């Protein structure tokens, strides 16, 4: 079976750095996605990690450790518009994604 865990809620201050963790146990693993979803909108692609290590894209970075079943999304220089739900998703071997329940991030002024 599949199990993906991420914190339900997090709060951080504008300008700060926040790390959202995701742990997973799945049968089959191709890669790991991170998405951002604002309320009432569709998920927006942020990153896709296949190999171990850190991938950086501007203010957002994503890390993967396949041996530990662990990933994190790092958001730097937080802005109010970063308040959203962040979804971790594992791609299994059949090109299917299994999503975690999401982490609701609130950025405070």
Partner 1 sequence: DAGITQSPRHKVTETGTPVTLRCHQTENHRYMYWYRQDPGHGLRLIHYSYGVKDTDKGEVSDGYSVSRSKTEDFLLTLESATSSQTSVYFCAIRTGGGSSYEQYFGPGTRLTVT
* Among 11, 44, 65, 79, interactor with partner 1 by CB under 8 A: 44
* Piece of the chain touching partner 1 by CB under 8 A; list 16-24, 40-48, 64-72, 74-82: 40-48
Closest distance of CB 108 from partner 1, Å = 24
Q: Give the separation between CA 34 and CA 24, rounded to whole angstroms.
A: 13
Site for partner 1 in 15-34 (CB under 8 A): 31, 33
* Among 87, 90, 105, 107, interactor with partner 1 by CB under 8 A: 87
Q: Give the separation between CA 100 and CA 25, rounded to whole angstroms.
A: 11
E strand or H helix at 62: strand 60-65
* Among 39, 51, 57, 109, interactor with partner 1 by CB under 8 A: 51
81 lies in the binding site for partner 1 (CB under 8 A) = no
58 lies in the binding site for partner 1 (CB under 8 A) = no
Please give the angle made by the CA atoms of 31, 75 and 80, to the nearest 5 degrees.
Answer: 130
Q: Give the separation between CA 91 and CA 104, rounded to whole angstroms.
A: 22
39 lies in the binding site for partner 1 (CB under 8 A) = no
Q: What are the residues whose beta carbons fall under 8 Å from the beta carbon of 41, sequence distance 6 or more?
A: none
């Amino acid at each position: 079976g599949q199990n993906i865990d991420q914190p339900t809620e997090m709060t951080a201050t504008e300008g700060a750095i926040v790390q959202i963790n995701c742990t997973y146990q799945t049968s089959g693993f191709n890669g790991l996605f991170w998405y951002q979803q604002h309320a009432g909108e569709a998920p927006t692609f942020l990153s896709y990690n296949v190999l171990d290590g850190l991938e950086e894209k501007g203010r957002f970075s994503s890390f993967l450790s396949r041996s530990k079943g662990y990933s994190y999304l790092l958001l730097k220089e937080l802005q109010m518009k970063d308040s959203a739900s962040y979804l971790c998703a594992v791609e299994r071997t059949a090109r299917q994604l299994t999503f975690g329940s999401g982490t609701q991030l609130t950025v405070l002024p």
